[in-house]
RNA sequence: UGGGGCGUCGCCAAGUGGUUAAGGCAACGGGUUUUGAUCCCGUCAUUCGGAGGUUCGACUCCUCCCGCCCCAGCCA
């Protein structure tokens, strides 16, 4: 497995400089998800960056839920997110934290701003407020409520909090600058009325702080030193700093932004992931085609592979699109060293070995991994009737040995870990389809080269017909047909790949796979990496999910 | 047309005035191999969005231009 050396990055350089200059002693970062959806691969990068920065500098990273909007948030998401962060293998500092833990403090600070004449209760409705805000190129207008006396504001704010004011009638706004070229500074909303029960505070609050009013102060409360977020928050930074500068906060966190992770053939916006579920395009948040951590976990992608992938990415300010092949590389790289080898025939074609006794079962002892000794060996029964894959046989005797390294009529092939055999003739049904191959073994070729003059074209996998375990295989293709499904004018759902799921029944697995365990990874030799479907129950039979196929340079050159 | 940010190989990127312009993915050659896998070796930017300028010397500094992204939720 490759050792991933994290590239240095501009945030680490800032941290190093801050430590050198004595501006910070202990580095504190935080991962601040909103519990309104499941974590996806983009979050994985953010998690790796935030926890990684803390770890690299001997500090700590907090897990804090930014639960300031009860409309869309729920405990289900909190639980799923905690599970996902744990699964990735990170340990946060202290207890799990919540923005809602700080609602009282935030409210007190809002009062402080009011007293200082830096915030006011505004009665403009949403639409009028938008008009007053101005445009990108023209400044805005002051609210007519802007100069309301502080004591009046205080009373009104209390009314808002107590639920005495209807939703939408009032907001608490900061008094900054309606002419600012930065729209975020045009008297932003600090509190809005929401008579919506919160998953943690219940009906205690009728007003909820906005992201801007909450985030920096949460950081300050927790002593976060470096508040790392994605690029789209860069324009919010002046506002972040304005609150820190104008409030008696216990520390002075600083915000830094880096480019969010995009991967081609994927979408990573919670809105769109939800649309995929609600539109029935996938089966849920943990569908193996989803870029969610739960989906990738069910797919068989390991936490280590994901972390290696994230660590291979730079933390920079460019917003690029990483090729999915880079992820796939790390998935294979990790699975190669942790997957037990096994054989499973996906498209079975019967082979009868005419010179092998019908009554005999030869038990072959086979390594669990070609080069790593700690994998336990397994026992493979070899019998007269076997299955090989239909794609591994051809009647076309003109096929060159270089072009087709499999079984050809009249020629030899090595059965993986077993005998060299020769295909003698085929049997067909009335439709003309091949139903069975009659073949013969070359005696003494288990673990030995065949005699001079006999040369196997290649190595193919097989399984004893009498001992095979029937199973179902779920194979996935990319969910989208376009590398950038969100790029065009048409909705991204127009680019959904209708063949993203392939269900293959009647596959024949070697007997050892009957003992397959959820959480274990297997390489079906010459096919790919597979795992048991964690959602399937035992009554449904054996169901394997294909995490990813083996790298196949031959298929590529063929097309 | 306001403000903020970004443009280095097909993709991700290092580079912070003097390096032969790192590295990874992809691709393409070759070797090993009882997985067309893995592994190993090799090839892959005379050039850094463009044009000028400063300098003995520029991817790095200056000017202008071009392109892309973000901000006008009582979302985060």
Which domains does chain A show, CATH number per domain? 10-263 (3.40.50.620), 270-338+471-558 (2.40.240.10), 346-467 (2.40.240.10)
A34 is catalytic: yes
Query: Of A194, A260, A272, A347, which residue is the catalytic one?
Result: A260
* Positions of strand B less than 7 angstroms from a protein CB: 1-8, 10-16, 22-29, 34-39, 69-76
Query: Of A34, A283, A362, A385, which residue is the catalytic one?
Result: A34
Residue A555 phi/psi, 5-degree rounding, is -55, -40
The span from the CA of A84 to the CA of A90, in Å, is 10
Sign of CA dihedral A27, A105, A70, A79: positive
Give exposure, A353-374, as e/b (b: 16+ Cβ within 10 Å): beebeeeeeeebebebbeeeee
Q: Which nucleotide is nearest to A193 (CA to C1')?
A: B74
The span from the CA of A490 to the CA of A496, in Å, is 12
Q: Which nucleotide is nearest to A65 (CA to C1')?
A: B76
The span from the CA of A60 to the CA of A210, in Å, is 26
Helix, strand, coil percent content, chain A, rounded in steps of 5: 30, 25, 45
- Which residues, including other chains, have CB under 8 Å from residue A558's CB and lie 6 or more apart? none
- Which residues, including other chains, have CB under 8 Å from residue A359's CB and lie 6 or more apart? none
The span from the CA of A459 to the CA of A407, in Å, is 9
Write the ipTM.
0.96
Q: Which nucleotide is nearest to A126 (CA to C1')?
A: B74
User: pTM for the complete prediction?
Assistant: 0.96
A422 is catalytic: no
The span from the CA of A306 to the CA of A99, in Å, is 28
A146 is catalytic: no
**Of A235, A213, A232, which is closest to residue A103 (Cα–Cα)?**
A213
pLDDT tens digits, chain A, 559 residues: what are they? 556 667 679 999 999 999 999 999 999 999 999 999 999 999 999 999 999 999 999 999 999 999 999 999 999 999 999 999 999 999 999 999 999 999 999 999 999 999 999 999 999 999 999 999 999 999 999 999 999 999 999 999 999 999 999 999 999 999 999 999 999 999 999 999 999 999 999 999 999 999 999 999 999 999 999 999 999 999 999 999 999 999 999 999 999 999 999 999 999 999 999 999 999 999 999 999 999 999 999 999 999 999 999 999 999 999 999 999 999 999 999 999 999 999 999 999 999 999 999 999 999 999 999 999 999 999 999 999 999 999 999 999 999 999 999 999 999 999 999 999 999 999 999 999 999 999 999 999 999 999 999 999 999 999 999 999 999 999 999 999 999 999 988 899 999 999 999 999 999 999 999 999 999 999 999 999 999 999 987 777 999 999 999 999 887 565 4
Q: Which residue has the tokens 């202990």?
A: A26
- Which residues, including other chains, have CB under 8 Å from residue A463's CB and lie 6 or more apart? A343, A344, A345, A386, A387, A508, A509, A510
Query: Of A30, A97, A192, A270, which residue is the catalytic one?
Result: A270
Task: Name the packing angle between helices A75-88 and A41-56 (round to 10°).
Answer: 60
The span from the CA of A259 to the CA of A253, in Å, is 20
């Amino acid at each position: 497995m490759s050792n991933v050396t994290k590239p240095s990055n501009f945030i680490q350089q800032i941290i190093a400089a801050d430590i050198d200059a004595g501006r910070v002693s202990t580095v504190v970062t935080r991962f601040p998800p909103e519990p309104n959806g499941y974590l996806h691969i983009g979050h994985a990068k953010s998690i790796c960056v935030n926890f990684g920065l803390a770890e690299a500098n001997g500090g700590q990273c907090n897990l804090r839920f930014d639960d300031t909007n009860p409309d869309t948030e729920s405990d289900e998401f909190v639980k799923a997110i905690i599970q996902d962060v744990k699964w990735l293998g990170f340990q946060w500092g202290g207890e799990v934290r919540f923005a809602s833990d700080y609602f009282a403090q935030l409210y007190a600070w809002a009062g402080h701003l009011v007293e200082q004449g830096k915030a006011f209760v505004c009665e403009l409705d949403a639409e009028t407020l938008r008009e007053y805000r101005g445009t990108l190129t023209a400044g805005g207008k002051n609210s007519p409520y802007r100069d309301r006396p502080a004591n009046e504001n205080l009373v009104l704010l209390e009314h808002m909090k107590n639920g005495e004011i209807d939703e939408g009638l009032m907001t608490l706004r900061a008094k900054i600058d309606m002419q600012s070229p930065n729209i975020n500074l045009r008297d932003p909303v600090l509190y809005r009325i929401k008579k919506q029960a919160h998953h943690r505070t219940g009906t205690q609050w009728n007003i909820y702080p906005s992201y801007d009013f909450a985030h920096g102060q949460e950081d300050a409360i927790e002593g976060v030193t470096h508040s790392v977020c994605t690029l789209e928050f860069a324009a919010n930074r002046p506002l972040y700093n304005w609150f820190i500068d104008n409030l008696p906060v216990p520390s002075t966190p600083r915000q830094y932004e880096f480019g969010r992770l995009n991967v081609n053939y994927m979408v990573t916006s919670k809105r769109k992931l939800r649309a995929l579920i609600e539109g029935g395009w996938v089966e849920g948040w943990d569908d193996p085609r989803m870029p969610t951590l739960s989906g990738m976990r069910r797919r068989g992608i390991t936490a280590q592979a994901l972390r290696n992938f994230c660590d291979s990415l730079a933390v920079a300010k460019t917003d690029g699109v990483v090729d999915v092949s880079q992820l796939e590389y790390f998935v294979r790289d990790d699975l190669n060293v942790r997957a037990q080898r096994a054989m499973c025939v996906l498209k079975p074609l019967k082979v009868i070995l005419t010179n092998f006794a019908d009554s005999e079962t030869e038990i072959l002892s086979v390594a669990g991994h070609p080069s790593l000794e700690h994998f336990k060996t397994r026992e493979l029964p070899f019998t007269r009737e076997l299955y090989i894959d239909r794609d591994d046989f051809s009647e076309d005797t003109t096929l060159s040995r270089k072009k087709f390294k499999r079984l050809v009529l009249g020629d030899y092939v090595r059965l993986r870990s077993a005998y060299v055999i020769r295909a003698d003739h085929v049997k067909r049904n009335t439709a003309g389809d091949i139903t069975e191959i009659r073949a013969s073994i070359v005696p003494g070729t288990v673990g030995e080269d065949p005699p001079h003059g006999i040369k196997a074209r290649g190595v193919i996998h097989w399984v004893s017909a009498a001992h095979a375990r029937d199973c179902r295989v779920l194979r996935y293709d990319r969910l989208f047909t376009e590398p950038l499904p969100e790029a065009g004018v048409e909705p991204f759902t127009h680019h959904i790949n209708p063949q993203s799921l392939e269900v293959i029944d009647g596959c024949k697995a070697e007997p050892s796979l009957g003992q397959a365990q959820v959480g274990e990874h297997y390489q079906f030799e010459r096919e790919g990496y597979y795992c048991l479907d964690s959602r399937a129950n035992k009554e449904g039979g054996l169901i394997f999910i294909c995490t990813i196929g083996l790298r196949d340079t031959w298929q590529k050159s063929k097309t």
